Structure 1
Amino acid sequence: MYTKYLIIYGFIAAVILSSCGGGGDDSPSEPEVFPPTASTLSLPANDEVCLTGSSINGTQATVTFTWQGATNVNSYNVVIKNLSTEQENTFTTTSETLDVTLTKGEPYSWYVVSTSNTTTETAKSDVWKFYLAGDGIVNYAPFMAEALSPEIGETVSASNNKVTLSWRGTDVDNDIKDYEVFVATTSPPATSIGTTTDAFLEHTVSPGTVYYWQVVTTDQENNSSNSQIFEFKVN
């Protein structure tokens, strides 16, 4: 009789464990999602004159943009900006090449954003700049200077009441003559703090103050370009 009860109890326990999944988790695991990687840009080359565009007329040419394919990508958003007019356009493609009609003799920047259908995460390439060759143009204006330090919107600490402003200047003709720096507590800054052949300049500041600054780059042919207006705050 005792053995009979043990067999019955064992059978009931087995049924209960089976109905509960034996205490394990048989639910399917979520598939691992891999974010897209950033592309490496190829052409047009960075900080150079683009001579490979197919001329349409005296003012326009078709430029072919190419980049190396990234992984875990379904499509690419190619962002092209005219640096003179500030007009920015985005083009979507599934390939690693794109033809776009642009205005000749203008400076442009471009970058590629990798996107995936399985995640909202994206990856952005480096930002490159180029001049689209213009008919009869033999010398191009410098690119707009880019702020290095302080970074835009950064809060900094002064050293002996001074902050060093530094930037990056480029020119496809490699003939930058000098930089003039304007700083003020109002925007746009109208006070010149000096002209230099270096890509940095010290400025005396006051604590708790927001400053705006801008760099005008001039080349040997007296072509010039104004940077965007940068901003920083002093502790």
Structure 2
Amino acid sequence: MLACSSPSTIDPDPDTLDPEAPSQIERLTVNLQFPHKDGLCNIGADITPTQSTVIFEWEASEIAESYTVFVTNLVDGTSIQQDSNEDKIGIVLDRATPYAWYVVSKRGTVTAESETWKFYNSGPGVETHAPFPATINAPAMAASVNSGNVTLRWTGSDVDNDIASYDVYLGTNNNPDIHAADVTASALNVSVTSGTIYYWKIVTKDAVGNTSMSGIFQFRVL
């Protein structure tokens, strides 16, 4: 386990903290520590064969008064939100399940959000793990783009580091058909028509046939 320390309560006063000052927001923002980014979490107190308590840890901000931890189940989309006055907290999670998490630190009315990390909560008898759902980079949700060509960009990650390829789904309805199969890059240039809303998603495939699906994103062509 990583060492931790309680956040201090030093000046500035929360009423004078300027949310527009980058240096102050940087001091308020925390760095995540555990569970590790894109890692396999096999440290926790097992409650049942299907659940375990995972201890989330981050570096304490020297000016934060409290923290809120947000954890999202990447299979069913459900979220957990828990508050803490320290730089760690135990949360009961499903085993053999991928998650994403981040921490919002607070002082007065000012808040700062950490990076978001994904991890896989280990389960009994699991030898291979499905890839994490791809992170959509561009176009962002509900973005507007120029007509002609647009480059779809995403980021894939996997505990086993064995991503083989991606299937790209793209279309003008909210359940798009496959547009390109077995793409090995994490970007694809596509032709788009002016005045149209497009929907797209990425299915990530690993070397042993496990798959995961990103959410469905949309963008408008000007």
AA aligned opposite 2:157: T
Q: Secondary structure at the match of 1:144?
A: strand
Residue 172 of structure 2 corresponds to: 185
Q: Counterparts in 2 of 1:111-122, with a 5 A limit?
A: 111-116=102-107, 118=108, 120-122=109-111
State the Cα distance separating 1:220 from its structure 2 match.
0.7
1:170-192 Cα distance to aligned partner (Å, 9 max, x none): 01100011100000111021243
State the Cα distance separating 1:229 from its structure 2 match.
0.5
State the Cα distance separating 1:57 from its structure 2 match.
2.0
CA distance in 1, matches of 2:16, 2:68: 24
* 1:155 has 2:144 as partner: yes
State the Cα distance separating 1:151 from its structure 2 match.
1.4
Match of residue 134, structure 1, among 97, 114, 123: 123
* 1:105 has 2:96 as partner: yes
More displaced 10-residue stretch of structure 1: 132-141 or 55-64: 55-64
Q: What percent identity do the matched residue pairs reach?
A: 37
1:176-211 Cα distance to aligned partner (Å, 9 max, x none): 111000001110212433331111112111012111
Q: Counterparts in 2 of 1:17-28, with a 5 A limit?
A: none
AA aligned opposite 2:183: T
Q: Is the 8 A contact 1:193 1:203 kept in 2?
A: no
* 1:57 has 2:48 as partner: yes
CA distance in 1, matches of 2:181, 2:41: 33
Residue 64 of structure 2 corresponds to: 73
1:123-168 Cα distance to aligned partner (Å, 9 max, x none): 000000000001010110000011111112111124xx22111100
State the Cα distance separating 1:54 from its structure 2 match.
1.8
Q: Secondary structure at the match of 1:39?
A: coil
Q: TM-score, with normalisation over the residues of structure 1? A: 0.82
State the Cα distance separating 1:34 from its structure 2 match.
4.7
**CA-atom RMSD in angstroms:** 1.3
Work out the number of aligned pairs and report it: 201
Larger radius of gyration, structure 1 or 2? Answer: 1
* 1:123 has 2:112 as partner: yes
Residue 85 of structure 2 corresponds to: 94
Q: Mind listing any 5+ residue stretches in structure 2 that lack a counterpart? A: 1-14, 20-24
More displaced 10-residue stretch of structure 1: 53-62 or 95-104: 53-62
Residue 7 of structure 1 corresponds to: none
Match of residue 170, structure 1, among 149, 157, 174: 157
* 1:220 has 2:207 as partner: yes
| Higher strand fraction (1 or 2) | 2
Q: Is the 8 A contact 1:113 1:124 kept in 2?
A: yes
Q: Is the 8 A contact 1:34 1:72 kept in 2?
A: no
More displaced 10-residue stretch of structure 1: 215-224 or 65-74: 65-74
Q: Mind listing any 5+ residue stretches in structure 1 that lack a counterpart? A: 1-30
Residue 197 of structure 2 corresponds to: 210
Q: TM-score, with normalisation over the residues of structure 2? A: 0.87
